[in-house]
Amino acid sequence: MKNLILIGFMGSGKTSVGIKLSYACRVPFLDMDKEIEKEQGRTVSAIFAQMGEEAFRQMETDYLRRFFREGGKHILSTGGGTPLREENRALLKKAGKVVYLRVQPETVYARLKKDTTRPLLAGEDPKGKISGLLAERRELYEACADCIVDVDGKTLEAIVEEIRSKTGEFM
């Protein structure tokens, strides 16, 4: 077992949990969105606006192929849409233990209602977009996960402890 990979919807806490877990386990942390932004020299929003969603999805696949090839032991937080592609789901599963941070739509809305960095939630009816996307993706997240952690109402510390106890062999 090498990597521990966090998947889940926007606002599920993948980045915050990943950073905390990285300190707790002394394993280096990587955030896919940030890595893609560094490579491209622009934000995810700019990539969506200038190149379109499909181009971003291809960047995610290219990143995961490289991540898998290069090996090593990391905690990786993915983008909320990373498990949409079948190839990505296969790469994630091969690369390590996949932990799905499951979140309720109300929590996502409360956390992201003032956010301007998620192009898929921009514009009219963010609540409807959140519920719609979550409903479309739920099964894909579950299909990809080795274990599921419900995050609503839990502190970061409690989530990190739950992940550590559920993925014992990683630590």
* Shortest CB 123 distance to ligand S3P, Å: 14
Q: Please count the other Cβ atoms lying within 10 Å of the Cβ belonging to residue 46.
A: 13
- Position 75 contacts ligand S3P (CB under 6 A): no
Q: Please count the other Cβ atoms lying within 10 Å of the Cβ belonging to residue 159.
A: 21
* Shortest CB 53 distance to ligand S3P, Å: 8
Question: Per DSSP, which regions of the chain are E strands?
Answer: 3-7, 29-31, 75-77, 96-102, 147-150
Q: Please count the other Cβ atoms lying within 10 Å of the Cβ belonging to residue 29.
A: 19
Give the span between the Cα atoms of 47 and 41, in whole angstroms: 10
Of residues 133 and 160, the one with the C-beta less far from ligand S3P: 133
Of residues 44 and 163, the one with the C-beta less far from ligand S3P: 44
| Footprint (CB under 6 A) of ligand S3P, residues 84-143 | 118-120
From 4, 5, 10, 27, residue interacting with ligand S3P (rule: CB under 6 A): 10
Please identify, among the stretches 65-73, 79-87, 99-107, 161-169, the one whose residues bind ligand S3P according to the rule CB under 6 A: 79-87
| Footprint (CB under 6 A) of ligand S3P, residues 140-169 | none
Give the largest Cα separation in the chain, rounded.
Answer: 44
CA 125 distance to own-chain centroid: 23
Confirm if 31 and 44 have CB atoms less than 8 A apart.
no
From 13, 18, 80, 96, residue interacting with ligand S3P (rule: CB under 6 A): 80
Q: Please give the residue ranges that form the binding site for ligand S3P (CB under 6 A).
A: 10, 14, 33, 44, 79-81, 118-120
